[in-house]
Chains A and B, each alone.
Chain A
């Protein structure tokens, strides 16, 4: 036991803030968490694969579309649902950090306050980018094909990650609002309904009027249509609502709006500690 260890010559940290270094440190923290307890991440990544096999083979045979064609329809939809899943993951992480006092602890440090939500959402983006790979591989194995050009395919991935980043900020803000990990967990499970009310798993053309409108204004529908268009699987329905008729522009618009609203709201909410 060294008696000098308690005090360190560094008395006061420099007042100059280093938001990027702080955000990278927070990003590192989230990656270390995943490495320490990979179970949750593995579960969230295998969920869409399970759904692909289950829906693809069980429902696929009962739907008007032939099975092979339905599975090719389903893969972009599951990717779109993954993009929207940032809400659940972001909400849970932020709530847990509030609940367990980590957020407050960080708020007593002379660090950049924006770095905390940025670190969280950046880590989510990175893990999602990697986590989509197994779904894509299984998708290819069950008959889905990338039929557009390589640039369009890259565009599809870029757009999926952009929407994921946006929904992850929305989730982060919700988590900072809820501040309770049990409630956030329950609300998070309830978000499974969101892709059900979109064109992710089923075509929306045959839905009754009002439900079709709701589904087409669901950002997941724009995302699913954009993914299908860019991967060359299907062209957008011209008679649909604007975000689905112009799915790439629609998804971009949804993402930009979500980011423009929830980035500043989350940063401010974290800085104020929920008051």
Chain B
């Protein structure tokens, strides 16, 4: 059996003047899977999406989307994709309904079908009540939902979502997550970019970590979490408890704890995925260490990057020092 790819890129390059936005980006998203492209601000996520959706021609390398070359067969690519960009780009003067009908007409729906399809999607994304107001009066989350609805008028083979939930309220975020899951279940290939590890973890079959225009790491969310572990942090009531607490964490995690005297916290990376918060608290208690707060949380994106990438300062996998809580 051969794998077919919804998105396949090799050595994509893109320069903006002196800025090297993509430096040989390789992506392979198997048909029907969800790929989370995770990266900090400026990593090249939007540029990658723009190249793959035919908005921008690459300076080097090649890419195929739904089997078509993004440069030579751009028209066929456009006919096969749905795109929701980083900034919702519906027409603010038109109402939600007018926007969807316009897009439906441009996608060759006939009059009655355009109206029916628009109404169906307004309902699905809970926009029926606001359907006849100008879209500029919508909240950020409503605009984003409208934008996503416009991408789903037809059934795209590959859907691109550039930071679909950045800055959104939890309700809108959950709606967008639910839509992505449902589409994935029905076989749509999805490439979404995000700055949130949690979002990639929730939605993606595979995560590609990109940094400075190239892939820094790729794997399933489980593999990624196993490699980067989680972060245990304990807050003690007075400074004299810091060292005993560090001793316990050292034993539990096997990594060197980091002490913060000012905030009276001790933290350590835990790569053992079976470690639980109750166990940490029990061990601390058994050792007679007073604790006022304890947490075991996934690392932040910054911490992931510190551990998995060489950020040019020579530290490939440094201890997680001085990370803001």
As a 0/1 sequence over residues 72 to 103 of chain B, the CB contacts with chain A under 8 angstroms (1 = contact) are: 00011011110101011111111100100011
A9 to chain B, nearest CB (A): 7
- Interface flag for B183 (CB, 8 Å): yes
- Interface flag for A13 (CB, 8 Å): yes
Chain B, interface size: which category?
35 or more
* A5 near B124: Cβ-Cβ < 8 Å: yes
Contacts of B103 in A (CB 8 A): 109
Return the contact of A28 from the options B83, B102, B107, B117 (Cβ within 8 A).
Answer: B102
* B107 near A5: Cβ-Cβ < 8 Å: no
- Interface flag for B311 (CB, 8 Å): no
Stretch at the interface among B1-9, B48-56, B279-287, B316-324: B48-56
* A101 near B124: Cβ-Cβ < 8 Å: no
Distance in angstroms between the alpha carbons of A111 and B153 in the assembled complex: 14
Contacts of B102 in A (CB 8 A): 25, 28-29
Return the contact of B124 from the options A2, A29, A36, A275 (Cβ within 8 A).
Answer: A2
Contacts of B156 in A (CB 8 A): 11
Taking A7-B183, A22-B106 as contacts, is the C-beta distance between A104 and B85 under 8 angstroms?
A: yes
Return the contact of B106 from the options A6, A25, A33, A37 (Cβ within 8 A).
Answer: A25
As a 0/1 sequence over residues 1 to 34 of chain A, the CB contacts with chain B under 8 angstroms (1 = contact) are: 1110111111111110110011001001100110
B:138-180 near A, CB below 8 Å: 150, 152-157, 179
* A7 near B83: Cβ-Cβ < 8 Å: no
Distance in angstroms between the alpha carbons of A104 and B46 in the assembled complex: 13
Distance in angstroms between the alpha carbons of A33 and B94 in the assembled complex: 6
Q: Which residue of B lies closest to A271 (CB)?
A: B74
Distance in angstroms between the alpha carbons of A22 and B117 in the assembled complex: 18
* A21 near B105: Cβ-Cβ < 8 Å: yes
Q: Which residue of B lies closest to A12 (CB)?
A: B79
Taking A1-B123, A102-B91, A109-B107 as contacts, is the C-beta distance between A6 and B55 under 8 angstroms?
A: no
Contacts of B76 in A (CB 8 A): 15
Distance in angstroms between the alpha carbons of A174 and B258 in the assembled complex: 57
- Interface flag for B57 (CB, 8 Å): yes
Taking A29-B94, A33-B91 as contacts, is the C-beta distance between A5 and B123 under 8 angstroms?
A: yes
Q: Which residue of B lies closest to A273 (CB)?
A: B55
- Interface flag for A100 (CB, 8 Å): yes
* A8 near B55: Cβ-Cβ < 8 Å: no
A:217-261 near B, CB below 8 Å: none
Contacts of B106 in A (CB 8 A): 22, 25, 106, 109, 111
B98 to chain A, nearest CB (A): 6
B92 to chain A, nearest CB (A): 7
* A3 near B182: Cβ-Cβ < 8 Å: yes
Instruction: Specify which of A3, A6, A14, A21 lies most central, judged by the most chain B CB atoms within 10 Å of its CB.
Output: A6
* B75 near A15: Cβ-Cβ < 8 Å: yes
* B94 near A36: Cβ-Cβ < 8 Å: yes
B44 to chain A, nearest CB (A): 17
Q: Which residue of B lies closest to A11 (CB)?
A: B155
- Interface flag for A110 (CB, 8 Å): yes
Taking A5-B121, A8-B154, A12-B157 as contacts, is the C-beta distance between A108 and B75 under 8 angstroms?
A: no
Distance in angstroms between the alpha carbons of A38 and B79 in the assembled complex: 35
* B91 near A25: Cβ-Cβ < 8 Å: no
Contacts of A109 in B (CB 8 A): 78, 103, 106-107
A-B contact pairs, 15 of them (CB 8 A): A1-B124, A2-B124, A3-B182, A5-B120, A8-B155, A9-B155, A12-B154, A13-B154, A29-B94, A36-B134, A37-B134, A100-B92, A101-B87, A101-B89, A105-B89
10 pairs of A and B residues whose beta carbons are closest in the complex: A101-B89, A5-B124, A110-B79, A105-B89, A110-B78, A25-B105, A108-B83, A33-B93, A10-B154, A5-B120
Apart from A6-B124, A109-B78: 7 A-B pairs, beta carbons within 8 A: A2-B120, A5-B121, A5-B124, A33-B91, A33-B94, A36-B94, A36-B95
